[in-house]
Amino acid sequence: MKILLPPSETKRPGGDGPPLDLDALALPTLRREREAVIDALVELAGDEAESRRILKLSARQASDVAHNRRLREAPTMPAVDRYTGVLFDALDASALARPSRRWLAEHVWIHSAPFGPVGALDDVPLYRLAAGASLPGMPALRRHWAEATSAAIAADRPGFVLDLRSEAYVALGPIPPSVKSAYVRVVTEQGRALNHFNKKSKGALVRMLAEDRPRIGSLRALRGWAEARGVVLRDADEPGILELVVAE
């Protein structure tokens, strides 16, 4: 099983890892697409005012432009530690035991805008780029990434993909029809969508999976694990959608 997570706009600064190594990232067939986005983002960062306009940054966020400028030589840290915010706080990967972190490395991709999906323990630098951005000289990120990412996922041949991404990141790389998958929505028992608890519940779900380290290769196996764990996963009215049921 592979789990696809969205990134977070907020990130932990610093890092003690080596500079970005595109050859070391998951889904290596995406190297050309990664190079193109990185080149465009670094070039844009040479003009602070234009960077702030295109990336919709305030004056207080000007340091993010400097991070983009140093994208290729900046220190790195594992992606699952780089991202902060509600989902990643609930996952709390830094507090997991080593076997659980190794499970994350094997089973979790985090879908970034500049690098595409990367492994949970792949080393990435600090950056600023959202899924909806349009970089000068490039098509919209959705057009740039979608086909290549879907093809890369298909080539990886995961037995089953649990998709926890936001819709903006799904658009950057839809799961191909050849791969069995389920998209997760967080709802109440009555079926009402829960935006406030959405990210927290997804992070907690991944943490439970990492703690248990189950071998899951199908939706049926996922359901069996969830039932044993007291996690409520049910089919939605739409095909391919799972509802993660939580209390308000």
The torsion defined by the Cα of 209, 215, 221 and 227, in degrees rounded to 10, comes to -40
Total-model pTM:
0.96
The 10s digit of each residue's pLDDT in 164-183 is 999 999 999 999 999 999 99
Rounded Cα–Cα distance for residues 14 and 23 (Å) = 22
Q: Which residue segment(s) compose the domain that 148 sits in? A: 2-245
Domain count across the chain = 1
In the structure encoding, which two tokens stand for residue 15, read together? 């890092």
The 10s digit of each residue's pLDDT in 145-171 is 999 999 999 999 999 999 999 999 999
pLDDT at position 22 is 98
pLDDT at position 72 is 97
